[in-house]
Amino acid sequence: MSEQDEAQRLGEEIVVVLKTIYDPEIPVDVYELGLIYDILINEDKDAKILMTLTSPNCPVAESMPAEIEQKIKELKSVEVEITFEPTWTKEMMSEEARLELGML
């Protein structure tokens, strides 16, 4: 398996894990909610997840990134970075998430 294939496989595994983590205020997982901006995997197969929260004052601002880091670490070394650029909006949610929330 090539390094690129390995990185892609790891990225897919990370997405599967992210889809098991839910925002406690919204019954949709963080991936479909559009909170995950990027998943970067370096040559050592360590991961970095760039994510946001629904708002800077989100009550899970500390616990959610820690939960993500803990669950992903079961697969590989990971760093979770929070950003508010660009600001999260409802348009970032997947069609599946909008359907789940009755927005379609």
Express each pLDDT in 82-100 by its tens digit. Answer: 999 999 999 999 999 999 8
Judge whether 64 lies within some domain: yes
Judge whether 57 lies within some domain: yes
Residue 1 has pLDDT above 80, yes or no: no
Judge whether 100 lies within some domain: no
What is the rounded distance in angstroms from the CA atom of residue 94 to the CA atom of residue 34?
7
Residues 1-14 have a mean pLDDT of 86
Judge whether 35 lies within some domain: yes
**Contacts by 41-44 with C-beta closer than 8 Å and gap 24+?**
41/7, 41/10, 41/11, 43/3, 44/77
Judge whether 102 lies within some domain: no
**What is the value of pTM for the model shown?**
0.88
Q: What is the CATH number of the domain that holds 59?
A: 3.30.300.130
Q: What element of type H or E holds 16?
A: helix 3-18
Alpha carbon 25 to chain centroid distance? 16
Judge whether 80 lies within some domain: yes
Domain count, the chain: 1
Percent of the chain with pLDDT over 90: 58
